[in-house]
Amino acid sequence: MQLQLFQTESFTKHKINLIEESVEQRTQQLIIDEGRGEFLDRNGDPLSYEEKNVLILFPFLKSMEWPVEKVADILHVPVNTIKTKVEKAKAPFVFGGNKPFQLSEEEMEAINGLEIQGLFALKRKFPKQEMLASQLIGITGENEKMFHERYPDKVKGAHQEIGVSGLQETFDEWLVAEEQAKLIYHVDARGGPLFGVDVKYLAPSNPFYPLNVKTTIDSKLQQELEEVADTYNIEKGGLLLLDIEKSEIVANVSRPKINIKDPYGGTGATNYMFKSLIPGSVFKTAVAAAAIDEKIVDETTVFPCSEDIYGNQAEKQYGNINIKKSFAVSCNRTFAELAKSLTEKNPNLIEQYAEKLGLIGDISWQGDIYHYSNFKQLQLGESKIFSSEEEKKDMNFVSQTGIGQREVRVTPLGVANMMATIARGGQKYRVSAVSAVEYENGNSMFSFPKEKGEGETISRYTAMKLQQYLRGVVTDEKGTARYLQAAAYPIAGKTGTAETGKYEGEEVPSNQLYNKWFAGYFPFDEPKYALVAVNLDVKINEGGIYPIFKDAVDAVYRKEKNID
């Protein structure tokens, strides 16, 4: 009774599905589709898999008379190549193995027209070896214990893979497979056909499943930016492209790449675009916003920019200059002084303005969907400005914070969102990477509407001033990003070169490692995209960020203008 009725699909504490196990014991089968939902780009094209026309053969063909010559002729391969594969086979197999022999539609039709039992030409899904936006999409793994913890009511398919990172994990409940599509035949104890050579095709009966997740990724732009990252040999870092109007991630490139065989080796599974990093001078944007909005400074005020933040002689001599010029040349002294003035007025002002800009705080799309309340699309690293209240009382710490050092940690996504907020004139929105969850037939199960960010934002006047200052970084005769004047679009943005406190080898200045940033938006007059490029743990004379940013902008331009 226990075996046959009560615990048939969940036997013992290990929850063994006896029906599935008995079927596996007396059959040989080849999975055509695992049944897990897939990820699509914004145009509905697959991101996580590709379909191939393949030939599948069953081992019982070796004991049959079948027109192998005709099959070989259709495939244009030697007869012995097919015969040898069948003779060695102990289970159903795809002709060509890991690099399957791909058939044309005509070849498929011709092979299936022969009506050979045990030989099938069909479409099969294969995981992409190099999936676009792989860290954003995430990875899956087989973990039976975790499967039962997540889905205690599910008894079928406990051996299937579940999402363990990225969107695969976040949207796992909708993606998890209900049924597999497979070719199956029954065998005796020696592996021979039990009921003749009758092969059955078992497929899900519900036309609405599996569900698919439609992302906001543009495959072409994603591919272009992946190539930019590889051209410049970014070992650690990446690029993030944001649609300003829709507040959607268009491309998410993170390096190092994921190694499919060892996804957690070498931190390849980490999405550095969502990781909290030291921003350096990019953070001066938030300090400037606070100082302008709080009327701490105007353009008549000048700062001694031949001095560093401690009053010593600076490496670069700019003389006494105002905030606009200070922003263009990235004068540390100016923003250290502004940070101190802001903190003296209110110890929480810098943090408050970082949040008003959408740099920190709840910047991921979140809301009530399905049976989830406050569902979050994106899992981001925890950003911070100060590590403790005590630090706000030490003006040396505050000075370092004002230039994006000390304990400041923000995500590239947060920086891109800040740039988008400024480009929109101060309007703040939460960011999404998924637009909808769709049924298999393409109809929407539910969607994610554009969502305003909570809390206060900066004034329109402050946003306008920041727009001018960000543009000056590129156009000013001494601006830090003059190189970007050659880009296909006019750019506004901010440079960042952050000291990491790390060294490559001996702790000497030449071996010090930096995080190099450029963040901005374009086209300047009609903003459409915000872009962040970051190259992590590189030496001061290596890993230049401007060519990376420029080439990414130029790639967007070519795509927008349909230039090959």
Residue 36: its pLDDT value, please?
A: 87
Residue 216: name the closest of 358, 495, 429, 521 by CA.
429
pTM across the whole model: 0.89
In a domain, 125, yes or no: no
Has residue 290 been placed in a domain? yes
3-state secondary structure of 361: coil
For residue 22, the model assigns a pLDDT of 46
- 34 DSSP β-pair partners: none
Written as tens digits, the pLDDT of the chain (564 aa) is 555 544 455 545 555 444 444 444 445 677 777 788 899 999 999 998 888 999 999 888 888 899 999 999 999 999 999 999 999 988 889 998 778 888 999 999 999 999 988 888 998 888 887 889 999 999 888 777 787 778 777 655 546 788 889 999 999 989 987 777 777 776 655 555 554 556 766 666 676 778 999 999 999 999 999 999 999 999 999 999 999 999 999 999 999 998 877 777 766 789 999 999 999 999 999 999 999 999 999 999 999 999 999 999 998 999 999 999 999 999 999 999 999 999 999 999 999 999 999 999 999 999 988 778 889 999 999 999 999 999 999 999 999 999 999 999 999 999 999 999 999 999 999 999 999 999 988 899 999 999 999 999 999 999 999 999 999 999 999 999 999 999 999 999 999 999 999 998 888 888 999 999 999 999 999 999 999 999 999 999 998 999 999 999 999 999 999 887
Within 10 Å of residue 105's Cβ, how many Cβ atoms?
9
* Angle, helix 219-231 to helix 546-560, in steps of 10 degrees: 150
pLDDT at 155: 55
For residue 64, being part of any structural domain is answered with no
**89 domain residue, yes or no:** no
Number of independent structural domains in the chain: 1
Residue 396 lies in domain: 219-258+274-560
Beta strands in 187-256 (DSSP E): 200-202, 212-215, 237-243, 248-255
Say if 204 falls within a structural domain: no
pLDDT at 185: 72
Nearest Cα residue to 520 out of 543, 559, 487: 487
Per-residue pLDDT, 203:
65
Position 176 scores a pLDDT of 86
User: Mind telling me the catalytic residues?
Assistant: 281
Structure token pair of residue 393: 């009382």
Considering the domain boundaries, does residue 175 fall inside one? no
Rounded CA separation 315/198 (Å) = 81
The enclosing domain of 298 has a CATH number of 3.40.710.10
| pLDDT computed for residue 18 by the predictor | 42
pLDDT at position 7: 46
Domain annotation covers residue 336: yes
Residue 343 lies in a domain: yes
* 3-state SS class at 526: coil
Q: What pLDDT score was predicted for residue 200?
A: 67
